[in-house]
């Protein structure tokens, strides 16, 4: 199971990879540049980064929300099948 850690407010949050091995995704807002930076970390070293324009963030959130809704429905359906 993955987890996240808050880093100082000006930096964002760090989400740990389900595979472990000191991998993580750091999300940080950069209001001055009007971007959100998604960076991939391994062993405290930044391996890659992606700058997402602030006006594209709602599309990313909508995609993540859709995926969460589908996962929730599948889980709920599987539980209903087991209890029947």
Q: pLDDT confidence of 81, banded at 50, 70, 90?
A: confident
Is the pLDDT at 76 greater than 60? The verdict is yes
> What does pTM read for this prediction?
0.72
pLDDT score of 10: 58
Euclidean distance between CA atoms 21 and 6, whole angstroms? 19
DSSP state of 7: -
Euclidean distance between CA atoms 23 and 44, whole angstroms? 8
Number of domains in the chain: 1
Is the pLDDT at 37 greater than 60? The verdict is yes
Provide mean pLDDT across the span 58-78. Answer: 92
Task: Provide long-range contacts, Cβ within 8 A and 24+ apart, for 41-49.
Answer: 41/14
Residue 46's domain spans which residues? 4-83
Euclidean distance between CA atoms 70 and 64, whole angstroms? 10
């Amino acid at each position: 199971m993955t987890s996240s850690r808050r880093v100082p407010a000006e930096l964002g949050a760090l989400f740990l990879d389900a595979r472990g091995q000191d991998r993580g995704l750091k999300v940080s807002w950069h209001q001055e540049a009007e971007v959100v930076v998604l960076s991939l970390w391994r062993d405290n070293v930044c391996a890659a980064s992606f700058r997402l324009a602030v006006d594209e963030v709602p599309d990313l959130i909508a995609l993540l929300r859709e995926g969460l809704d589908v996962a929730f429905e599948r889980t709920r359906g599987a539980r209903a099948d087991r209890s029947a």
